[in-house]
Chain A
């Protein structure tokens, strides 16, 4: 990346010592120009940013970026997976690359014939998802828990400009008319592989970005750069939660 775009993460400051599970990006969120953001604990006991500042809602309407890496998610793969998930009342999208929202607000992503990822509902901060098994000894034969809580970061773009923001980063057309609610694209954004999901959360148009966790610092700088054109910026999870 050219020097023109480079930003360094601030030094480690003001982070609770008992915060043992950390997003790679926590420093970027620990302090902003507006001061310390408010934090909130997820169901698994880690922190995500609740609110960056008083203008979160306005930014989120245009082009918000939410860091949700510590919000629970998981994935399962194998021939027995669909049946097992259906048995727990999760909706099974009819085809790969489609996502379905559960009644309680979690999302089920179907990535292939036999691979499903589950994304937590911001409202319950991931309670249901965090209780799902993480070891293959706890799942039926032919259903293997995946590692997307750690292998991937979860960033979310919100607002009316999500399609335009992503048109600067990805060769896949993710404007709403070509990438409607529930669409999934497994593709490359800004040269990092990611799973993109079109959602609607708390009335906001949103696209979740599940990308390689080691590249998420890089992708954060890319997203921050891309949303500037639309007066967007970082926002907290509160914009995704119903009051």
Chain B
């Protein structure tokens, strides 16, 4: 069972998550030709390299982004969508301080303090 490090909930079995497809942007709804729209809908990149993907933690209803190596299947990095500068080029607003899961040690300190 692979582990997915969730930015909100920490490392969890990947069975707790739902894959949401690659992070892409929609073609222009008004102007994009049908062909472009069809390609966006049906074609997925099938090469090597790092994939940027949407993942959803079911128990907490939380969407986040994971960067995963397509060859090794290694999950390189996960983060809150508000930190993504392609999705949100402007400085993030209220989500900017999005949850990053504290380490178990930090939680312990937090509580025992």
Contacts and interface: CB of A to CB of B under 8 A. Distances in A.
Interface of A: 79, 94-98, 111-114, 171-172, 178, 180-183, 185-188, 193-195
Contacts of A193: 58-59
Looking at chain A's contact residues, the main secondary structure is: loop
Contact of A180 (B1, B8, B108): B108
Interface stretch (B18-26, B37-45, B71-79, B90-98): B90-98
A187 B16 contact: yes
A90 B15 CA distance: 35
B29 interface: no
Contacts, number: 58
Contact of A187 (B59, B94, B98, B108): B59
Given A96-B99, A97-B9, A186 B60 contact: yes
Contacts of A95: 99, 102, 110
Given A95-B99, A96-B99, A187-B12, A178 B104 contact: yes
Nearest to A95: B102
B57 to A, nearest CB: 7
Nearest to B60: A186
Contacts of B8: 96-97, 112
A185 B10 CA distance: 9
B16 A188 contact: yes
B104 A194 contact: no
